Amino acid sequence: MQLRPALPARPFGPEHLMRPVGAVADSVLGMRGCLFTFHRAAPSEVWEGLPNRDFHLDLGYLDRLLGYLTHTGWAIVTLDEAMRRTARGEPGDRFVNFSVDDCYRDTFEHVAPLFRRHRAPVTLFVTTGIPDGTLALWQAGLEDVLASRENILTGSGRLAVKTDAEKRKAFAALSAAWDGPKAAAHYEAFCERNDVDADALHAKHAISWDMLEVLRDDPLVEIGGHTVNHRRISSLSDAEARDEIAGCRVRLQKKLGIPVRHFAFPYGRAGDCGTRDFALVREAGFSTAATTRKGLVRRDVDHFRLPRNTLVGGHRHLALAEMHLTGITGIAARMLGRV
Ligand SMILES: [Zn+2]
């Protein structure tokens, strides 16, 4: 039986008002490509109660977005294909790529199956410390503990986290306090204080090499690198940056036995990766490097600083996606200096 992609729930919503804007730009600029990125995804009923839900896409929204793109004539392609189309630069060509950064268990359980159902490809940027178990998944662990308990112990005492609002507030406060080089140590102390099995939580949230082997064999999945330890590349010495960039490529190629051509910078904004880092990615043997600077891919795009538009969990309207597709969000970000 052939599964048809889901139709958008509201086929004539405000997102359609944006489309003429893109068409006018196309008549001047020709080909248009839009690269989307996100991290995690959860079923709608789970998503509602997540303490860090901006980090997760609502799968129902992603399903609607994929259906909308197909019905409005966008080709959903791999990055390999996106680069071929960029080189051709055919006027009127419109393509979209989706990439998942980091890669958690939900990439295997929810995201890849949804793309398969739409017969659409997806690119996975893997941080190899996740399947290797060497990178502490402190945000996922903290979120899980908050979601499953009614109160927690912090360094300053007991904190009630009964309601969704309390859980979200606690996540925001604790993750802001821990963020930085000592995050893993803060998380370890938190787990000890709250009698949490950090290894079990890691296994619950991490993608495994077994899962990646299955995904590698899926013709709709393209696998790229996203460093070893998810470090901010611009903050590293040359040697450390090389280890992070080349190290993930070597590890992925060894474990999965496939060429790894694409790289995505952790964080990916202007302060997180610069000219030296783009050169290091090229030197490591990759063909492209993706950032999270908003914007569209046009024919003259630099393959080592590809713009990507981040999809955030809380933005569940197709009109916002359509604003990314027209390039308006990229123009606005540059005008506001948010690069
Ligand atoms: Zn990342």
Beta strands in the chain (DSSP E): 32-38, 40-42, 56-58, 75-76, 94-102, 122-126, 151-154, 157-160, 221-225, 262-264, 288-290, 309-310
| Residue 329: pLDDT band with limits 50, 70, 90 | confident
Short-list 226, 222, 315, CA closest to 268: 226
Instruction: DSSP letter for 111, please.
Output: I
Please give the pLDDT value at position 181: 86
Domains in the chain with CATH codes: 15-134+206-335 (3.20.20.370), 138-201 (no CATH)
pTM over 0.85: yes
CA of 21 to the centre of ligand 1 (A): 31
CA of 115 to the centre of ligand 1 (A): 20
CA of 9 to the centre of ligand 1 (A): 31
Short-list 89, 116, 72, 111, CA closest to 33: 89
The SS3 of residue 305 is coil
Please give the pLDDT value at position 320: 84
| Residue 14: pLDDT band with limits 50, 70, 90 | low
Residues 52-96 have pLDDT tens digits of 999 999 999 999 999 999 999 999 999 999 999 999 999 889 999
CA of 108 to the centre of ligand 1 (A): 17
Give dist(CA 253, CA 224) in Å, integer: 10
CA of 230 to the centre of ligand 1 (A): 6
CA of 271 to the centre of ligand 1 (A): 15
CA of 231 to the centre of ligand 1 (A): 9
